[in-house]
A and B are shown apart, each in its own frame.
Chain A
Amino acid sequence: DIQMTQSPSSLSASVGDRVTITCRASQGISNYLAWYQQKPGKVPKLLIYAASTLQSGVPSRFSGSGSGTDFTLTISSLQPEDVATYYCQKYNSAPFTFGPGTKVDIK
């Protein structure tokens, strides 16, 4: 099965900072990659699908890129409401494995 890794596992940044999270698949998955945001005590929320397509209603400061095995999620200007854990997920075929998550908080 394809394994998903994320880095860093956590980060602390200031409001307004540019934040980048990396996700890597152990084998190529084309662009079958999604990013989810989970705030503490809340249900996961889809941010980006097909590696770079912003889900409806998601602020434009979020963006995604990559294809094959290497992907990135970027928050162009970190806001207090972005404090959350972010997960990538491959969905080219079952199992639809999630990455281990990246916890983002405010410095």
Chain B
Amino acid sequence: EVQLVESGGGLVQPGGSLRLSCAASGFTVSSNYMSWVRQAPGKGLEWVSVIYSGGSTYYADSVKGRFTISRDNSKNTLYLQMNSLRAEDTAVYYCARSMVRGVISAFDIWGQGTMVTVSS
């Protein structure tokens, strides 16, 4: 079964760091473009970052310079390293798969989400 399972969320103080993980099964994370999407409480979806099959990475302006997306092919896992966290980063974070291997495409598989709360 193709699925994504996120972990690593929690409560962190402003200025702190957190690393989210997204374990994939049923497909290879390095074959598809993989993204992180977040949703603040009661708000809409916000795309955060993507890593392409070839390794190129892109970020939303709101997280550029603070967040880093990466993957470990041996563990078939996607990561999001979040530094210098702010209250406005509080959200449910989803990882999502682009549906066609090696090509920009819509997000067909989503994880269940992991909650990140930034508060003192």
Q: Is the CB of B108 within 8 A of A98?
A: no
Is A10 an interface residue when CB atoms closer than 8 A count as contact? Answer: no
Number of interface residues of B (CB under 8 A): 22
CA distance A32 to B106 in the complex (A): 8
* Contact bitstring A58-69, B, C-beta under 8 A = 1, else 0: 000000000000
Q: Report the bound CA distance from A43 to B6 in whole Å.
A: 13
Query: Which residues of B are in contact with A by a Cβ distance under 8 Å?
Result: 35, 37, 44-47, 50, 58, 60-61, 94, 98-99, 104-108, 110-113
Question: Please, which residues of chain A bring their CB within 8 A of the CB of B44?
Answer: 85, 87, 98-101
In this assembly, does A92 line the interface, its C-beta being within 8 Å of a C-beta of chain B? yes
Query: Which DSSP category, helix, strand, loop or mixed, fits chain A's interface?
Result: loop
Chain A 89-107 interface 0/1 with B at a Cβ cutoff of 8 Å (1 = within): 1011111111111000000
B-binding residues in A (CB < 8 A): 1, 32, 34, 36, 38, 43-46, 49-50, 55, 85, 87, 89, 91-101
